[in-house]
Amino acid sequence: MRRGGRVVRARGGHGGRSAERGERTGAYVSENQNLLAEQRRALILDEVRRRGGVRVNELTRRLGVSDMTVRRDLDALSRQGMLEKVHGGAVPVVEASTHEPGFEAKSGLEPTAKEDIARAAARLVAPGTAIALSGGTTTYALAQHLLEVPDLTVVTNSVRVADVFHAAQRISGQRPGAATVVLTGGVRTPSDSLVGPVADRAIAALHFDLLFLGVHGISLEAGLSTPNLAEAETNRWLVQSARRVVVVADHTKWGTVGLSSFASLDQVDTLVTDAGLPADAREEVRDRLRLTVAGEDEDDEAV
């Protein structure tokens, strides 16, 4: 092509490679633009935790969205206490072992994994049994999957869990086979659990077939732990009163240690988690207890 008396040669090879890259990038962008905000933010959190921090420009390339979209996502995650914004990106929140997020903040963490775990855990419940559900957002999700299991007796120290069953009864009336719910008394925690001497005495006088236990952290060394001392004591009574103990915890809880340990892994029968749990952690768990990975182990039966 002649421009201003000079001949400008087209770079066919390089241009072809650029076009090819553009096509690949365009396809990736198109695919990721279809992600829901919840899915996109879960991916961002995973990157922050896995790498110890990310930059905005890296996320825009990976997710195929604009800088503004990424910054809005980071703002939302920061407001919920899930990460810390820094200049040009985000880093994980460094939490003290005594830090206890509220129920709403925890609800936004790993929602898809919690739903998968709840669905898998619900298959472990047989009609007519006495079960206990501790406080937590994963046990809250589980409660919603248990509404159709007939003739359950449900003991819980979670205001939120009790509300799931009570709300269902208000809507449909006292139908045959509806669960009998026993809500312990006690002092309310930031995660809407009831703890303390009143809760402890109520739980100590009961016996249930199966306990579903949500945890703040789980590790080989510390076992099950929580940042709340009073909740740790109440959880000890829950474990002691149960014939079988099932921990429901997404993969981000693995390796987390709270202020107070309340049970060892030897006291747990089953861990129900999601597919994000790393292979080495799976091996360590399977050496000590039964492992159910939601979405992978579909042949679970009631225990």
**Token pair recorded at residue 68:** 């503004």
The DSSP H or E segment spanning 181 is: strand 180-183
**Do the Cβ atoms of 123 and 147 come closer than 8 Å?**
no
Phi, psi of 217 (to 5 degrees): -155, 155
Domains assigned to the chain: 2-92 (1.10.10.10), 103-293 (3.40.50.1360)
The angle subtended at Cα 280 by Cα 279 and Cα 285, nearest 5°, is: 95
Q: Which helix (H) or strand (E) holds 69?
A: helix 67-79
- The pLDDT value recorded for residue 76 is 87
Straight-line distance from the first to the last Cα atom of the chain, in angstroms, rounded to the nearest whole number: 77
CA-angle at 196, arms to 237 and 229, nearest 5°: 80
pLDDT in tens, the chain (303 residues): 444 444 444 444 444 444 444 444 343 333 444 467 878 888 888 788 777 788 899 999 989 899 999 999 998 888 877 788 888 888 876 554 444 555 455 555 567 889 999 999 999 999 999 999 999 999 999 999 999 999 999 999 999 999 999 998 887 766 778 899 999 999 988 778 999 999 999 999 999 999 999 998 999 999 999 888 999 999 999 999 999 999 999 998 898 888 899 999 999 999 999 998 989 999 999 999 999 999 886 554 444
Phi first, then psi, for residue 121 (nearest 5°) are -65, -35
* CA proximity to 216, closest of 157, 257, 270: 257
Beta pairing, strands 130-133 & 153-156:
parallel
Helix (H) or strand (E) holding 182: strand 180-183
* Burial zone of 51 (CB within 10 Å; 0-12 exposed, 13-18 middle, 19+ buried): exposed
